[in-house]
Structure 1
Amino acid sequence: MEAIVKRIILEIKQGDEQAFAELVELYKDKVYQVAYRMVGNAHEAQDVAQEAFLRAYTNLDRFDTNRKFSTWIFRIATNVAIDRLRKKKPDFYLQDQVQGSRDLTYESQLAASDDLPEEQIVTAEMQEWVQGEINRLPVKYRTAIILKYLEDLSLKEISEILDLPVSTVKTRIHRGREALRKRMRHL
Structure 2
Amino acid sequence: MDEQALIAAAVRGELRAFNQLLQHHQALAYNVAYRMLDDTDAAADAVQEAAIKAFRGLKTYRGGSFKAWFLRIVTNNCYDWLRARGRHGVSSLDDLAEDPDYAEALVHPGEGPEARALREELSAFISRSVNSLPPDQRLTLVLADIEGVPYQEVADICNVPLGTVKSRLSRARARLRDLLMQRAELLPQRYRLENDIDGR
Q: TM-score, normalised by structure 2?
A: 0.46
Larger Rg computed on CA atoms:
1
Higher relative CO (CA 8 A, sep ≥ 6), structure 1 or 2?
2
